[in-house]
Chain A
């Protein structure tokens, strides 16, 4: 099973390496956007899916990353410095926000992060000297690596693919570590986790800040991909969309964000003809998904497996009952 998964993953990576050669500019652009949203929602999946902290402010961190890179480039500072600095700022802001916000749980946290997103959006819109206000920032240059020209869409795609894989690997290592196990312990039963010596405050804060840093990296890449950013990209609505991507894919499943981002980014493009009705359909689909599959799309295999197990168990039980009856009939010698 493990080997099969590994084989499957390598096949996917090979496919991701080959596919862009068969796509036009727009296809490559879409694929890159997808990867970037995977990074952002992977971070949110850590916060929400693994550590159980409901955050509705991921787009704010995404925006902080994007604006950091854009402002750095405007000041003539390299992208390669802007990207990590953006992630670091997100991490620190995550800690600062998490400190008061994580005093409260679930829905309160959701609102605290939602409000935070509004506040960041207001700063982006109003502080024209820094962010260009509603006009946004344009002509964001693509980075270059040594002599390698990343202006080319396909080359930039490979950079994003590389970053995505690195970030995914880091997340995988984190989740497999005792640290990651503490996150899930905390999600499943905070009080029990606490009594086992897990420092709730510290771990929730870390999961939140790391998730924010992922969004920062994604945002930095996004700014260079689209080369024009304005506050409208980073609204509360965008955060809610990212949250829904995690939920639709399957929170707490490593590959949930991959599927979720596809639904949130690629599918709308594909269903362009539906345009105005797409979001209506999407919203309705979310309701139906919650009713039938509250654990997301990736819970389907598990659900089928448990259904099969239940069926086998009930079959075994009924067989046993028949046997028992037969033997009791033989013993008693009286038929019913």
Chain B
């Protein structure tokens, strides 16, 4: 039983990071119909920016702040302006293909231009182990889970409670009506891209201390985030949280109780079951087909 609780806790920690990446993914989809295949690389790049800044003797806090600004510019504004805007009129698949190209370019750009080795990253949380009723829980697991959860809830609070957030939602639901109501549509869409970039920085901060910074770290993270988003429901932001936690926990339990070698197949398995019985995802709405 104590084993189980331990596995559950570390699964929740990993799952909450998946949820962060998945949330950005669903937000982009809702606001602009963009499916970002480079989502994993969007987490990898801030990790390397922070490492470079810290090597230049910038303090940790300052380099995080700088990375946030840089990420909003590069992964938010430039990504939207350079890739999504010109391709938007062609529909979904060209954007998908272009973001695949982007992920290849980013991954190999970092490998060729900086380093192919995995690099250490300072942990946000002091390394402490707690023993509660025979269960050993690490500080970083709790910290990661709580911080990711807070970020997800904050993002959702922002979207549902503030005026700007509601305007963003209106744009996501019906762009034309939103424009008629006087909402600045391009700006709202940009906000979504900016939030996605910030969530990516947060995910980078939480995942790199445990999994190290490597040029290809985004590959599996991106995939898990996609699966999490689809499992939870593509058009529902709560779905990202549910999907992320579900994938993280099941993966961890399967690795311990079934087979560690097939850990990576768990997300696929849940995904297959979900699309067989509820193709719109656990919390998603059905979308009408149009001729």
Contact = CB atoms under 8 A, between A and B. Distances in A.
Given A100-B275, A192-B291, A276-B112, A287 B102 contact: yes
Contacts of B226: 111
B100 interface: yes
Contacts of A281: 105
Nearest to B268: A115
Interface stretch (B91-99, B159-167, B188-196, B205-213): B91-99
A131 B16 CA distance: 35
B119 interface: no
Interface stretch (A19-27, A102-110, A143-151, A216-224): A102-110
A243 B279 CA distance: 24
Given A111-B230, A286-B98, A290-B87, A100 B272 contact: yes
B105 A283 contact: yes
B252 interface: no
B227 interface: yes
B48 interface: no
A191 B291 contact: yes
A243 B112 CA distance: 24
B2 to A, nearest CB: 29
A122 B220 CA distance: 13
Given A122-B262, A277-B108, A115 B94 contact: no
Contacts of B98: 286-287, 290-291
Contact of B268 (A116, A189, A291): A116
A116 B94 CA distance: 23
A115 B267 contact: yes
A115 B102 contact: no
A38 B119 CA distance: 39
Nearest to A281: B105
A122 B275 CA distance: 22
B264 A276 contact: no
A107 B289 contact: no
Contact of B108 (A115, A283, A290, A291): A283
A112 interface: yes
B83 A287 contact: yes
A263 B234 CA distance: 34
A133 B83 CA distance: 40
B104 A283 contact: yes
B104 A282 contact: yes
Size band of the interface chain A makes with B: 35 or more
A236 B272 CA distance: 17
A283 B102 CA distance: 6
B92 A106 contact: yes
B275 A112 contact: yes
B109 interface: yes
A309 interface: no
Given A126-B262, A277-B112, A290-B87, A103 B94 contact: no
B54 to A, nearest CB: 24
Interface in B263-287: 264-265, 267-268, 271-272, 275-276, 279
A189 B289 CA distance: 11
A29 interface: no
Of A101, A192, A289, A290, the most chain B CB neighbours within 10 A belong to A290
Given A283-B101, A286-B101, A111 B265 contact: no
Interface of A: 54, 100-101, 103-104, 106-108, 110-112, 114-116, 118-119, 122, 125-126, 189, 191-192, 236-237, 240, 243-244, 247, 275-287, 289-291, 294
The 6 closest A-B pairs by CB, nearest first: A286-B101, A283-B105, A115-B268, A283-B104, A276-B112, A279-B108
Given A280-B113, A283-B102, 13 more contacts: A100-B276, A106-B92, A107-B35, A111-B227, A111-B230, A118-B268, A122-B264, A125-B261, A236-B219, A280-B105, A286-B100, A287-B105, A291-B86
